[in-house]
Amino acid sequence: MKKLRVLIIGAAFAADLHSDAYSRILDKVHIAGICDKDMSRIESLAKRYGFTDYKAYDNYETAIADCDCDVVDICLPNFLHHRVAIAALNRGRHVICEKPLATKLEDAKEMVDTAKRVGKHIYYAEDWLFAPAISKAKEIMLSGEVGKPLYIRARECHSGSHSPFAQTIEFCGGGCMMHLGVHPVTFLLALKDNKWEEVVAMTAPGKEGNLIHSKMEGEDWAGAFIKFEDGTYALVEANYVTVGGMEDIIDIYCDQGCIHVDLSFSGPIRVFSIPGLSYTVEKAEITTGWSTPAVDEKYNLGYCGEINHFVDCALKNEEAKVGLRGVDGLETIKLINAIYKSAREGRKVRKEELGE
């Protein structure tokens, strides 16, 4: 069986998430190269997940030119997605790109247009779409056993990003709506085949106007109501003011029932510890007292499913499913831009205003 040859660009947080997934499917994946400015991080990542027979690089341009690979997996800060993706696509490689696709709409569009021109695929890494709990909720919703879906409330929140690149709009593309809200936005667009009509939103103004994070250029709280073409509605929330760990919640309200999904806090284990555990859930500030430690967190958040899907698609030279294509990442940025426009101008924004 032919193995997919992967070059991972970046060896920090996102690379750890993807590498865990690759390590579970080494029967069909070979990590051909790893690139990071800090070579010690490459060695640590490879050792952690059992990668061998790979080339190490400290420059992405050299890595893309030299590494014999099929796919370039971009696990870098948001502002670097565009330039690395363009280089990889022009070299004839498929691309896996972490969220958001880019920090600017024009950059995301160039990425999608370049992939189309060179005949390669962009696989947009939205883990929510493979979270087992969300997949089950979607299955129940589509079965009709809770009736017709009417309204969805979805949010991702925590106490603030660990990344210094999240502090500036230039490097991140926005505040918490771009960095966190990107997950529920992409989920909703995938559910509705990108067919939204209008949005009305509010956000904190950034810097001193933020609720807590006065040194952050982007907003630390944001909320948006979205109307879709099918006449249904959704509320998306993102914030950096939620303590106690990452909060990923989806509520689906139907005319004959409702579905509640908790991606991060629900689990089969409860622990009480006086000295504290080494880890419970992502972004938890303390681990003393009672806690609910995550069980296989990366799998349950969807990272394993998404990477497995991308590997299968790339081996067959096929496009990913709706919500996981480059064009879906582009549509997500369009809607987030509309959210920012609505908040900035204090009015409802219709999709038709944005053009193509």
**What pLDDT digit, counting tens, does each position of 35-89 carry?**
999 999 999 999 999 999 999 999 999 999 999 999 999 999 999 999 999 999 9
Low-confidence ranges of the chain (pLDDT < 70): 356
How do 257-262 and 247-254 pair as beta strands? antiparallel
Distance CA 61, CA 79 (A): 16
Looking at residue 215, what DSSP letter applies? T
The per-residue pLDDT for 125 is 98
The answer to whether 277 and 290 are in contact (CB under 8 A) is: no
CB 93 within 8 A of CB 30: no
- Topology alike, domains 4-128+303-318 and 129-302+333-354: no
Q: Superfamily for 129-302+333-354?
A: Dihydrodipicolinate Reductase; domain 2 (3.30.360.10)
Q: What is the pLDDT of residue 161?
A: 87
Cα–Cα distance, 51 to 354 (Å, whole number): 45
Q: What pLDDT was estimated at residue 1?
A: 78
Domain ranges for the chain, please list them: 4-128+303-318, 129-302+333-354
* Number of C-beta neighbours around residue 39 at 10 A: 14
The tally of CA atoms less than 13 A away on the side-chain side of residue 326 is 26
The Cα–Cα gap between 77 and 98 comes to 9
Helix axes 326-345, 105-118, angle to 10 degrees: 160
Q: Domain 4-128+303-318 adopts which CATH fold?
A: Rossmann fold (3.40.50)
By C-alpha distance, which of 184, 199, 163, 186 is closest to 247? Answer: 184
Predicted pLDDT of residue 164: 87
pTM (two decimals): 0.95
Question: Cβ-count burial of 19 within 10 angstroms (0-12 exposed, 13-18 middle, 19+ buried)?
Answer: buried
